[in-house]
Amino acid sequence: MTLTKGQTPSATSMPVPSLEVQSFTSIRRGWQYLWGEARTRVLLWYVLILGLVFLAGVPAFRYLLFQRIDERVRRDMATEIEIFRDLLTSNEPFL
């Protein structure tokens, strides 16, 4: 439709742009392209391995740390108990 000078287009005469919705296959192709990149796969493997090491390492480190603390506390308690027993059996005054 051609307009002459002074004419205004009506709302019904204007073409409506069609909105294309991306199809499932085009979205799927995009994801395949993203996951198919070597950099993405390397990054994902790096994150996966780092996560597994972290999940295994934290409890192991915690266990070793608590074992060392427990050993040190028991050794110190044994020393204090020995000093206390020596004090009880000695004839020295407490003050």
- Kindly report, residue by residue over 25-57, the tens digit of the pLDDT: 777 777 677 777 888 889 999 999 999 999 999
pLDDT above 70 coverage of the chain, percent: 73
Which tokens belong to 55?
A: 């999940």
Q: Around Cβ 79, how many Cβ atoms within 10 Å?
A: 10
Counted domains in the chain = 1
* 59, part of any domain: yes
Q: Nearest to residue 41, comparing CAs of 32, 53, 28?
A: 32
Residue 13 has pLDDT above 70, yes or no: no
* 17, part of any domain: no
* 85, part of any domain: yes
pLDDT of residue 14: 58
* 78, part of any domain: yes
Per the structure, the complete domain to which residue 64 belongs is given by 25-89
The pTM of the full predicted model, rounded to 2 decimals, is 0.48
pLDDT of residue 27: 72
* 84, part of any domain: yes
* 34, part of any domain: yes
pLDDT of residue 87: 87
pLDDT of residue 71: 97
pLDDT of residue 9: 60
* 7, part of any domain: no
If DSSP codes are grouped into helix, strand and coil, which group holds residue 74?
A: helix
* 2, part of any domain: no
pLDDT of residue 45: 92
